[in-house]
Structure 1
Amino acid sequence: MSSATPSLLNLLAQTSLDDPEEVLKAANAVLRRSKNDLEAQHVKVVALLKQDRFDDAIRIFEDAGDQLKEKATLEYAYALYKTGNLEEAERATQVQDGDPERARGLLHVQAQTAYRLESFSKAAEIYAKLSGKAAAVHGEVNDLKINTGAVSAQLEWAGEGHLVKDKKVVREDLEAFETAYNAACGSIARGEMAQSEVLLRRAKDLCNALEDLTDDEKKAETLPIIVQQIYVLSRLGKLEEAGKLSSSIQIPDVPDLSTRHIAQVNSLVASTGSDNPYLSHRLFNSSQTLPKTDKLFNIQASILRQDAHILDLLSLKYNGLAKSTSAYISQQPSPTISADVNSISVLNAAAHARSEVGKAGLKQILPLLEERPNDVGLIFTIIQLYILTNNHASAISLLESFFSRLDSSCSATELDVRYAPGLVGILISLYTLQNRKSHIKPQLTKAASYWRHKSKTPPPNLLKAAGAALLESSDLEDLAAAGEFFETLHNVNPTDKSTLAGLVAAYATTAPQKLTRAHYDALTPIQKLIPTIDAEALEAAGIARPPQSSQPAIKKRAPEKEKERARKIKRSRMPKDFVEGRKMDEERWLPMRDRSYYRPKGKKGKKRAEGATQGGVSEEKEKVEGKPVVQAAGGSQGQKSKKKKGKGGKW
C-alpha cells in the first residue's frame, strides 16, 4: 500500500480536478494492482459521486467494508441521501469527524436529509447553526439562504409557521430567482395568492435574465416555476390565463417525475375545454410510478390522494371509493386532527351518500356514526349537513356528546383532540349562532388552561380568545385567570401589544403589584389613539354626562314616540279626486252612516240615526204588565208587534 499511494498521487497531479473520468481511470488502475487500497477506493468514490453514479458508489462502500465508511463518512452519507436511503443517511451523519470542514459538510447532509424526512424544524435548527458560523467554501452563504427559505416554506405547509422568524418579503428575496421562488412558496402556504403570483413572475424574469445559464438550463429551472404559477392562477380563479400558460409548456419535458405529475394535474384543473370526468380520471392516473429518490412530500401526496378520490366521485365510482377509503381510515388512529385522514373521511361519507346533501345525505351517513363514533371528519360532515338544514341544535348536541366522551378519556392523544383549537372554535361558532353566550366562556377557559399546562408554546389565538372572554366578567377569579393567560402569552412574545393590553387590564384590578412602569409605558399613549377626536365637540353633540351625586341615578326610559309610517298606496286604490300631499280620509273605507263625522239631515234621518246606534241602548217605555221594557237598539224585541188586519191590509 505504501508504494501504491505515491503512484496514485502522481497520477492525480497529472490530471485535471474537473475531469472525474480521468480520476476514475487512475483510481481503477491502482485498484487493479492493489484491490484493498483504501486511498484509491476513497478517490474512486469521489469520482463516482461527481458523475452522479450514486448506486455505484454505494456498491464500493458495501464491498470495501467499515474502514472506507469510517474514512469517507461524508461521501457515504451523501451517497445514501442521493439514493433515497434517508434513514441510513441520517444515522451516518451522526458520526463525528475530526476535520472541521468535513464536519461542516456532514451538517449540510444532515440538514438535507432531515428536510427530505420532513423533519423541517430540525433542518431549520441545523441551518441556523451553519449560518451562525463562518462559511467554509465560496458560495455557501447563498446556498444557506436558499435552503433556509425552502425550509421556511415547508414549515408553513406543515402547520409550523410559528417557527418561521422572517415571514415578510424583503429586498434580498428579490435578488435571485431561487430566493424569490422560495418566498412565493411561503406565501402560497399562508394563502397569500396575490403576492405569490407577483413573486413567481419575478422569479421567472430573474432566471431568464441570467447570462451564465444556457437556454436549456433556463428552461429546466423555469418549468417548476411555471407549474407553480398555473396552480396559483387556478386558485385565483384566472382559469383562462392558467390554461394558456399550461398549454405553453411540454409536460413530458419536465425532468422530475414528481413535478411532471403535478404539472399534469394542474393542467387538468386549468383546462376549460373539457368537462368529461372520465377522461380526466384516465389522464390523472396515466403518470408513472415515482421512484423513492423522487418522492412527494406528505402535503403533496395528501392533496393528490384527495384529487384521485374526487375524480372517483365525479366518475360515479361510489362503491369502489367507499371500500378503498374505509380501508384507509381503518388503518389510521382515531380520533385524530390530521387533515389528510379527516379529508378522506369526508370523501368516504360522500361516497356512502352518493353525493346527496341535506336530509337525504344525512339518512345515508348517520348509520356510519355508530361504526365510527370518534371519526372527526365524519362528525363534522354531519354537522355541516345539519347546518345546511338549519338544525343547529342537533349539530351542537352531536359535538357536545363527542367532547363529553373525550373528557372522560385518560389518553393524552384523545385529550389533544378534545381541546384542539379548531374544534373548540367550531363549537364556539355554533354557540354564537344559537346565542348561547353563557356556554362560550367555560369552553374557552377549559381549552386554554389545558394547553397552558400542556405545552410550552400554547396556541396564542386560543389563549387570547379565552382571556378576552374572561375580561368581560366582573368576577375577580375570572380576571385572575385572564391575567395568567395573558402573562403566558407575554412571556412568549413580549412585543405583542394586544397581549400586553390584556395583561394590564386583568392585573390592574386583581394583582397590580405584578405590573411595573415598563408595562404601562409600552402601551400606546392615549394621546396617539385620539389625536383627531374633539372631546368638546362630542360633548356638545349630546354625550351623556355622569351623574353629579355619589348615588347612582335612576334613569327612566322616555316613552318612545310612535313614528307614522308612510304607507305606499297603489294607484288603482286611490280615489279619482286624489291630490298629492293631501291627507286622505282614514274612514273612507267605512259606509257613510258608520263614519264618525256623519250627520243625517231632516227629522226622519235624525230619528233613523237614533235607532241605528250600534252598541248603544235606547229605552222605550212601554207598559207591559206595568213595567218598562228595555230594548237593545238593533236587536229583536221581547214581544211580537201586533199586525193589523183589515180589508186590503198587508201582513
Structure 2
Amino acid sequence: MKVGKMSVTDYQSDEKSYDCLFNDSLILIANNQLGDALKLLDLAQSVCTTQNQDLDAGDLLLELAPIKLTIAYIYQVQGRISEAKALLDEFRNNETVDHMTKLVTTNNYYALEGIPDSKSSIALRDLDYQARMHKLQQKLTKPQSNVLMKNKLLLQFHAHALSKSSKYFTKAFTSEYQKLYPGDYTFNVYKVLNQLDITISDVNDGNAEQCARKLYQHAKTDLSEPERISTTLLLVAVNNIMGRYDQCLSVLEKIWDSRTSETLIPALAGTLFGLLNELNYHQDDQRDSLSKTKAKQTSFIVALIKYFQDHGVSKCYNFAREIAFRLYQNGDEKAEDVLRVLQKEDPQDRLVAAALDGDNSKLDKVETLQSSTDINELLSTSIASMIPAPPATSTKRTFKPSISKVHKNKRKPRFSAKKEFVAAEKFNAADLDEERWLPMRLRSYYKPTKKDRKKGGQQGALEQPKDKKKKKSKK
C-alpha cells in the first residue's frame, strides 16, 4: 500500500502531542518530504521542551533524543554536515544518555566524518559493536542489526582484523542470513576476500590485475551458488578498476545461462545489464564486438521481460522499475513492456503512469523541487566555507606531578602441612608450653642428638691446645 503525500498543515490538530508529531514526521521522511518533516520535527522539539520544563537537563535531553537524532539525519542527507555534527556533539559529550542513543550517535558521527584506513582500528574500538549489540539485542530491529553487522565487518576488513574463523563466515550463519535477506551477499563477499587474502590496499595500490587473476581462478572452481555470485561481483568491481570486462563478462554469462527460468537474482541481473550498457558505449569503433554485445543485450532483456511477465514484479518491484527507466532513457521500445507490468502491479505509481501516458500533470510541480535559495547568494558564497575543516589537533601536553609510592607485596604466611588452626572455643591457655619462648637447647625436656654430643655443646668453638712444657717465668 502506497501512502499519499501530506503537508504540515495536515498535522496542526496534533500539536499538543509531540509523540504524534514525531511519528508523522517519520511518514514524511518515508515519502522523501524532508523539508516538511524538518518543520514538523522543529515543532515537536518546541512542544517537548515546553511540556517538560520541570525535568533536569539530562532527562530533557533523553526525551529530545529521538527528535534531535532524526533532525541530524535529515541534515546529513541534505549535506548540512556541520549542523548535523553540532547536534550529535550534544550526545557524544554527555554521560547521561542511554546505550541506544550512544550507539546511534557514535555510528552516525563516524558516518559523517569518514574513517581513513589509518584510523579504522581506533574507530572499531570506539564503536565496540560486539558489546553494544549484545546489550541492545532486545531493542534493535533486524534492519538495524543488519547495518551494524555490516559496519563491523567493513571496519574489520579495513583494519586487517577480520578472522577467517569468524562466525559470520560459517555455513549455518550465511544460509540463515540468505533466508532473512535473500539476494544480499555481503557476508559471502567478505568471506571470499578473506579466503583469498585480498586486502583493500591490494586493490588501491595497483595490484588489481593480481586480484582479478585470483578471483577468476576461484570463480572457476566448484563453489556454492552464493560464493560463486559473490566472487563474480567482486571480479566485476576489480575489472572495472582495470577497464577490462572480458573475465567478469564470461563468468556472468555462464551463471545467467545456467539459472532456471523460475529464479532471478537482482544483484546478478542488474550487474549484467549495467555491464552490457557500459560495453555499448565503449565499443563504437569495433563493429564486430559492438554487434555481438548488442545481440547479447537484446537476448538478456527479452529473457528479463519474459520473467517479469510470467512471475510478476511483486518481489523485485524497485529493480524492475530501475530497468524500465534505464530502457526508457535509452529510447528502447521494450521499456513499454516492463512499464505495463509495473502499472499492473501498482496503478498508483505516478511516474510509471506519466511515462506510459505521456502526461506529466499528475507529477509534483517544479516549484516544489526547486530550492528557495537565490542564485546570487549561492554564487557569492565562498567555496572554502562550504568545505568542512579537519579538526585541529592540540599539541599542548599537560604534565601531572609524579607521586612516588613504594608498593610492598603482601605475602601470605607460610604454614607447614602439619600445622592446624585451632578454633577459638577449643583454645586453652593451660595447654601451652611454658618454656616455648626459650631456645630448644635450654628447655628441660631437650635431648641432644649424637651429633650435638660430639660438638660438646660449644656451638662449633674449638678448644685451645694445652702447652706440654710451660716456660719458666723469669724473675
Does the CA contact (< 8 Å) of 2:6 and 2:28 recur in 1? Answer: no
Q: Structure 2 CA distance, aligned partners of 1:296 and 1:239?
A: 26
- Among 219, 223, 227, the alignment partner of 1:372 is 223
Matches within 5 A, 1:517-596: none
Larger displacement relative to structure 2 (443-452 or 329-338): 329-338
Q: Which amino acid aligns with 2:300?
A: Q
**CA offsets 1:551-577 (integer angstroms, 9 cap, x no match):** xxxxxxxxxxxxxxxxxxxxxxxxxxx
Query: What's the counterpart of residue 273 of structure 2?
Result: 428
Q: Structure 2 CA distance, aligned partners of 1:496 and 1:329?
A: 39
Q: Structure 2 CA distance, aligned partners of 1:234 and 1:495?
A: 30
Tell me: CA distance 1:501–1:296, structure 2 relative to 1, closer, same or farther (3 Å): closer
Does the CA contact (< 8 Å) of 1:362 and 1:385 recur in 2? Answer: yes
Cα deviation for residue 390 of structure 1 reads: 0.9
Does the CA contact (< 8 Å) of 1:387 and 1:395 recur in 2? Answer: no
Q: Structure 1 CA distance, aligned partners of 2:306 and 2:348?
A: 23
Q: Structure 2 CA distance, aligned partners of 1:453 and 1:304?
A: 37
Q: Structure 1 CA distance, aligned partners of 2:356 and 2:155?
A: 51
Tell me: CA distance 1:434–1:277, structure 2 relative to 1, closer, same or farther (3 Å): closer
**CA offsets 1:279-323 (integer angstroms, 9 cap, x no match):** 3222222744545783311111111111111221232224x1574
Q: 2:3 aligns to what SS in structure 1?
A: coil
- Among 43, 46, 65, the alignment partner of 1:205 is 46
Q: Which amino acid aligns with 1:171?
A: T
Cα deviation for residue 392 of structure 1 reads: 2.1
Query: What's the counterpart of residue 644 of structure 1?
Result: none
Larger displacement relative to structure 2 (485-494 or 438-447): 485-494
- Among 232, 251, 258, the alignment partner of 1:405 is 258
Q: Structure 1 CA distance, aligned partners of 2:101 and 2:323?
A: 40
Q: Structure 1 CA distance, aligned partners of 2:82 and 2:355?
A: 48
Pick the structure with greater CA Rg.
1
Query: What's the counterpart of residue 65 of structure 2?
Result: 223
Q: Structure 2 CA distance, aligned partners of 1:233 and 1:466?
A: 30
1:280 paired to 2:123: yes
Larger displacement relative to structure 2 (371-380 or 460-469): 460-469
Tell me: CA distance 1:466–1:354, structure 2 relative to 1, closer, same or farther (3 Å): closer
Q: Which amino acid aligns with 1:307?
A: N
Q: Structure 1 CA distance, aligned partners of 2:142 and 2:167?
A: 19
Cα deviation for residue 377 of structure 1 reads: 3.2
- Among 108, 116, 121, the alignment partner of 1:266 is 108
Q: Structure 2 CA distance, aligned partners of 1:338 and 1:244?
A: 35
RMSD of the alignment, in Å?
4.4
Cα deviation for residue 372 of structure 1 reads: 3.4
1:384 paired to 2:237: yes
**CA offsets 1:313-364 (integer angstroms, 9 cap, x no match):** 232224x157444226863269889478422233334443021212233244
- Among 164, 178, 184, the alignment partner of 2:19 is 178
Query: What's the counterpart of residue 140 of structure 2?
Result: 296
Tell me: CA distance 1:388–1:339, structure 2 relative to 1, closer, same or farther (3 Å): farther
Tell me: CA distance 1:497–1:441, structure 2 relative to 1, closer, same or farther (3 Å): farther
Query: What's the counterpart of residue 307 of structure 2?
Result: 450
**CA offsets 1:423-445 (integer angstroms, 9 cap, x no match):** 43332221122223333333233
Does the CA contact (< 8 Å) of 1:346 and 1:377 recur in 2? Answer: yes
Query: What's the counterpart of residue 313 of structure 1?
Result: 157
Q: Which amino acid aligns with 1:439?
A: K
1:393 paired to 2:246: yes
Q: 1:416 aligns to what SS in structure 2?
A: coil
**CA offsets 1:16-46 (integer angstroms, 9 cap, x no match):** xxxxxxxxxxxxxxxxxxxxxxxxxxxxxxx
Q: 1:248 aligns to what SS in structure 2?
A: helix
Does the CA contact (< 8 Å) of 2:168 and 2:174 recur in 1? Answer: no
Q: Which amino acid aligns with 1:332?
A: S
- Among 415, 436, 440, the alignment partner of 2:297 is 440
Structure with greater contact order relative to length (CA < 8 Å, sep ≥ 6):
2
**CA offsets 1:554-612 (integer angstroms, 9 cap, x no match):** xxxxxxxxxxxxxxxxxxxxxxxxxxxxxxxxxxxxxxxxxxxxxxxxxxxxxxxxxxx
Tell me: CA distance 1:295–1:405, structure 2 relative to 1, closer, same or farther (3 Å): farther
Tell me: CA distance 1:372–1:501, structure 2 relative to 1, closer, same or farther (3 Å): same
Tell me: CA distance 1:501–1:197, structure 2 relative to 1, closer, same or farther (3 Å): closer
Q: Structure 1 CA distance, aligned partners of 2:235 and 2:138?
A: 38
Tell me: CA distance 1:224–1:235, structure 2 relative to 1, closer, same or farther (3 Å): same
Q: Which amino acid aligns with 1:354?
A: T
Cα deviation for residue 212 of structure 1 reads: 8.0
Query: What's the counterpart of residue 164 of structure 1?
Result: 2
- Among 301, 314, 321, the alignment partner of 1:461 is 321
Q: Structure 1 CA distance, aligned partners of 2:115 and 2:53?
A: 39
Q: Structure 2 CA distance, aligned partners of 1:335 and 1:393?
A: 29
Q: Structure 1 CA distance, aligned partners of 2:71 and 2:237?
A: 33
Query: What's the counterpart of residue 569 of structure 1?
Result: none
Q: Structure 1 CA distance, aligned partners of 2:138 and 2:249?
A: 45
Larger displacement relative to structure 2 (285-294 or 246-255): 285-294
Tell me: CA distance 1:469–1:260, structure 2 relative to 1, closer, same or farther (3 Å): closer
Does the CA contact (< 8 Å) of 2:25 and 2:37 recur in 1? Answer: yes
Q: Structure 1 CA distance, aligned partners of 2:350 and 2:32?
A: 25
Cα deviation for residue 177 of structure 1 reads: 3.8
Q: Structure 1 CA distance, aligned partners of 2:351 and 2:85?
A: 45
Q: Structure 2 CA distance, aligned partners of 1:269 and 1:524?
A: 37
Q: Structure 1 CA distance, aligned partners of 2:30 and 2:349?
A: 24
Does the CA contact (< 8 Å) of 1:497 and 1:523 recur in 2? Answer: no
- Structure 2 gap segments, 5+ residues each: 281-292, 362-475
Q: Which amino acid aligns with 1:359?
A: E
Matches within 5 A, 1:26-105: none
Tell me: CA distance 1:251–1:399, structure 2 relative to 1, closer, same or farther (3 Å): farther
Q: Structure 1 CA distance, aligned partners of 2:237 and 2:245?
A: 9
Does the CA contact (< 8 Å) of 1:230 and 1:246 recur in 2? Answer: yes
Q: Which amino acid aligns with 1:431?
A: L
Q: Structure 1 CA distance, aligned partners of 2:87 and 2:154?
A: 24
Tell me: CA distance 1:333–1:404, structure 2 relative to 1, closer, same or farther (3 Å): farther
TM-score, scaled relative to structure 2: 0.55
Tell me: CA distance 1:341–1:301, structure 2 relative to 1, closer, same or farther (3 Å): same
Tell me: CA distance 1:251–1:231, structure 2 relative to 1, closer, same or farther (3 Å): farther
- Structure 1 gap segments, 5+ residues each: 1-162, 505-521, 526-651
1:246 paired to 2:88: yes
Tell me: CA distance 1:469–1:229, structure 2 relative to 1, closer, same or farther (3 Å): closer
**CA offsets 1:370-421 (integer angstroms, 9 cap, x no match):** 353523333212111111111123332221111112137xxx5xx032xx3x
Tell me: CA distance 1:336–1:363, structure 2 relative to 1, closer, same or farther (3 Å): farther
- Among 190, 201, 210, the alignment partner of 1:360 is 210
Tell me: CA distance 1:192–1:448, structure 2 relative to 1, closer, same or farther (3 Å): farther
Cα deviation for residue 189 of structure 1 reads: 5.9
Q: Structure 2 CA distance, aligned partners of 1:448 and 1:266?
A: 40
